[in-house]
A = this chain, B = another copy of it.
Amino acid sequence: MAATIKDVARLAGVSQSSVCRALAAPDQVRPATRERVHQAAAQLGYRPNRVARSLSTGRTGNIGLVLPDIANPFFPGVVKAVQRRAREFDLAVLLADTDEDPAAELELISTMTKQVDGFLLCSPRASDEDLRSVSGDTPVVFVNRRVGRLPSVNFDSADGIRQAITHLAALGHRRVAYVAGPRSSWVNRERLRSIRSVATAMDLEVVEAGNVTPTLEGGIAVADQILAASVTAVIAFNDMIGLGLLSGFNARGVNVPADISVVGFDNIPTAGLVNPPLTSVDMPKEQCGRSGVELLVQLLNDREGRAGSRRLLPTQLIVRGSTGPAART
């Protein structure tokens, strides 16, 4: 079997404690001993058993990454960055996909809570109250959601929306639709609020279309409703819905952007590939994953350091072919 600390101790002719110190706190051990221990460890290919370590230190070396749907192309970029940054801190990532279900989310969190040191909750769907209570038990960093003053990483959507609406207004659009995402999504509520406020300020009229699932199907399903709303542009909660709209419009022979302009959020990789390519508000996903891990690590080290640090990442409108001058009405 794998070598344990005892094997190393025996081979090096020292006690367990010394082996442990030689590896964990090298300056507390005489160079000669340290050397012997290192050699013995190397010879046996010794790797400390993380489970045993966890038990005595109370730290697992794992972080939980919880997200609503990894099939949504927004997330893989974040996941990848989280993974990479976590590895640099010698942390492993436990992944949980909640299928957009708030109850499943809480259930998964509570199941995982003993095996992780902290959570990165991406776009969580649960209520503020429930999330607050999770955050009371375990260190948590929220991603793409703000819960009071708790640590979080967010995108400056408000600014993205300002850019998008300014862009549309400059193209002569006066009446635009907003296709809302899941009702349980905090980001959705935030975006709706920003859009209302920016639109009012810029004297645009906003028509709100029902909540749909943030998927292609959701966008396709709502296309008719948008066409009936006699708007010249539509802003979708995210790119998946935006792509669904493009697909729906195309199927109905509606020309984008000549007849109607479409703007999405997230700037997922596919956005630039379709025809016409989708104008979208880019979110720096890698930076987001990295920052999330960094904040969490900070939270884990500053034990009880109630420093509710929050980060806001910049967004940027990427103008592509799906937006153009407003159609004559």
Q: A273-B216, A273-B274 are in contact. Are A92 and B112 (CB under 8 A)?
A: yes
Interface residues of A (CB under 8 A from B): 2, 47, 49-52, 54-55, 60-62, 65, 69-71, 73, 75-77, 79-80, 83-84, 87, 92-97, 99, 108, 110-112, 114-115, 216, 243, 246-247, 250, 269-270, 273-275
User: Which of B80, B110, B274 contacts A274, CB < 8 Å?
Assistant: B274
User: Which of B50, B80, B112, B243 contacts A70, CB < 8 Å?
Assistant: B80
Contact A71 B269, beta carbon cutoff 8 Å: yes
A-B contact pairs, 10 of them (CB 8 A): A62-B94, A62-B115, A70-B76, A79-B95, A84-B97, A92-B96, A93-B95, A216-B269, A270-B273, A275-B275
Give Cα A247–Cα B76 distance, bound, in whole angstroms.
22
Q: Kindly list chain B residues whose C-beta atoms are within 8 Å of the C-beta of A270.
A: 269-270, 273
A-B interface, 7 closest residue pairs, ranked by CB to CB distance from nearest: A275-B275, A95-B95, A270-B270, A51-B54, A70-B76, A71-B76, A83-B97
Give Cα A83–Cα B95 distance, bound, in whole angstroms.
8
Give Cα A84–Cα B71 distance, bound, in whole angstroms.
13
Contact A79 B70, beta carbon cutoff 8 Å: yes
Q: A54-B51, A274-B273, A274-B274 are in contact. Are A97 and B80 (CB under 8 A)?
A: yes
Contact B77 A71, beta carbon cutoff 8 Å: yes
- A18 CB to closest chain B CB, in angstroms? 22
Give Cα A246–Cα B269 distance, bound, in whole angstroms.
15
Give Cα A65–Cα B97 distance, bound, in whole angstroms.
14
> Which residue of chain B is the closest to A276 with respect to CB atoms?
B275
Q: A70-B79, A76-B76, A269-B71 are in contact. Are A51 and B47 (CB under 8 A)?
A: no
User: Which of B51, B70, B108, B269 contacts A60, CB < 8 Å?
Assistant: B51
